[in-house]
Amino acid sequence: MDFKLIINIIGLIALIFVLYKMQKKHLSFTKRVFTALGLGIVYGLILHYVYGPNSDTISVTKDWFNIIGSGYVRLLQMIVMPLIMVSITSAIINLKDSKQLGKMGGNIIAILLITAAIAGLVGIMVSLFYKLDATGMLQGSAEMTRAEYLQNKLGEANSSFPQKVLDFIPTNPFLDMTGARNTSTIAVVIFSAFVGIAALGIQKKKPESLETFRNIVNSAHDIVMRMVTLVLRLTPYGILALITNVLASSDFLQIAKLIKFILASYTAIIIMFIIHMIILALFKLNPVIYLKKVFPVLTFAFTSRTSMGAIPLNIETQTKKLGVSQGIANLSATFGASIGQNGCAAIYPAMLAVMIAPTVGVNPYSIGFIAKLIVIITISSFGVAGVGGGATFAALIVLSSLGFPVGLAGLLISVEPLIDMGRTALNVNDSILSGVVTGKMLNELNTDMYNDPALISVESDEMHS
């Protein structure tokens, strides 16, 4: 093993030990996450400037660091499908009023789609403000390769809206439990809901069977939630490794070339975050308390770039910090990972469309173009996979629907990971927002729990045992 690699690994182990000592001292979960983020940024920058982002040492070091970073993400992804299944089924069979299920799902989806439309408009307006234009942009070999890849993926993503809706319905739920399709998450939700509704249907004729099934599902739910707790204890370590890898391997020279697009992207993301806070305020909910409580899950989403992997922490945050009921939290976290993603399915394709429009002779300031783009974004935001690459599918769908060349999206390959971090955090925040607002609308939000500042670091009490 190379001496430099050994030094790098020892450095990471030392930082992990610091986080471990913080855990042993029962410092809050939020403080440990924030510390992990800061240590990762500093260590990543040190590795970046010592070795260079494209060096063999960094490449090999990333592989070793991924054991912790990507390993943590994989553990979360491992429990996502079991969590969705038992959570949705348990929520339905324990409902006091089964009629609430339709209201929950309808409200959550409506909020996700409305915010996606708003996010699309924000993306368009910010792009016009920054005067983004893909005309004359040069393509290197990496960008050309990416463009060819996107062109090949077009057929996979280009399907009609009715077909997208049809794809939600599982033909083989066991296949969807493996996450094999872009719509697997929603398909598993539908299957689990079907199981729960079927169970409620035997309540009068076979109450003893329902009670037995309810006990089995509730026991399975308790076990899965314990698994979630065990994995979430590792969050600070996972964030440390993930952010270190990002900073160590980022090519800042390439990033500088597209700094205007990066600034525009984060401007749009920040504006949309502010709009989310305004929505909370309109429902008489304190945005500051909300931000303090969701910080750990947003930090994970930012560093890991996976809305799907954030589902366990998302549900935990909603139910144990924000006072959202289990049923609403389960639905909003799972729906939000595939529907109406504000960052990946709205802002990103909107900005690309505005950039590319002048290259094909379309006026991006046209009201007709803007209205058409927002409608397409809202409809196409169904079924965008909540993992890395989901934004690519969203962009392919929107650009192809407009008749624009999809290959030009390859121009942004060098800054894609950096922008995707902010997009994913926005996606996850939107799913949490939909749960909180739905709970408020249906009078199922525990406002005392929401406003309790003592619950900001509630995980830390459970994750030391």
- Read off the pTM: 0.78
φ and ψ at 169, to 5 degrees? -80, 120
Confidence bin at 417 (pLDDT 50/70/90): confident
pLDDT of residue 448 exceeding 60, the answer is yes
- The share of the chain scoring above pLDDT 90, in percent, equals 38
pLDDT tens-digit readout, 253-304 = 767 767 888 899 999 999 999 999 999 999 999 999 999 999 989 998 898 8
Question: What distance in Å separates the CA atoms of residue 344 and residue 389, rounded to the nearest whole number?
Answer: 9
> Taking residues 390-397, what's their average pLDDT?
72
Superfamily of domain 3-462: Sodium:dicarboxylate symporter (1.10.3860.10)
Question: What distance in Å separates the CA atoms of residue 100 and residue 91, rounded to the nearest whole number?
Answer: 11
Q: Which of 183-197, 200-214, 355-369 has the lowest mean pLDDT?
A: 183-197
> Taking residues 125-129, what's their average pLDDT?
95
Tokens (6 digits) for 60 = 């090999």
In whole numbers, what is the pLDDT of the chain averaged over residues?
A: 84
pLDDT of residue 408 exceeding 70, the answer is no
Nearest to 343 by CA among 413, 284, 426: 426
SS3 of residue 380 by DSSP: helix
| pLDDT for 431 | 95
- Report in angstroms the alpha-carbon separations of 133 from 130, 357, 416: 9, 8, 17
Question: What distance in Å separates the CA atoms of residue 396 and residue 380, rounded to the nearest whole number?
Answer: 10
Nearest to 348 by CA among 381, 370, 379, 375: 381
Instruction: Give me the residue spans of the domains in the chain.
Output: 3-462
Tokens (6 digits) for 67 = 């054991």
pLDDT of residue 323 exceeding 90, the answer is yes
Residue pair 195/90 in contact (Cβ under 8 Å)? The answer is no
- Per-range mean pLDDT, top range of 131-135, 332-336, 390-394: 332-336
Amino acid of residue 289: I
SS3 of residue 382 by DSSP: strand
Confidence bin at 430 (pLDDT 50/70/90): very high
- Report in angstroms the alpha-carbon separations of 465 from 113, 226, 360: 40, 11, 60
Where residue 132 falls (left for φ over 0; alpha for ψ -120 to 50; beta otherwise) is beta
- Biggest CA pair distance of the chain: 71
Report CA torsion sign: 11, 16, 22, 28. positive
Burial of 123 (0-12, 13-18, 19+ CB in 10 A): buried
Query: Long-range CB contacts (< 8 A, 24+ apart) of 44-53?
Result: 44/243, 44/244, 44/245, 44/246, 44/247, 44/248, 45/247, 45/248, 47/8, 47/244, 47/247, 47/248, 48/247, 48/248, 48/249, 48/250, 48/252, 51/4, 51/248, 53/248, 53/249, 53/250, 53/251, 53/252
pLDDT tens-digit readout, 54-84 = 888 999 999 999 999 889 888 888 887 888 8
Nearest to 362 by CA among 206, 133, 138: 133
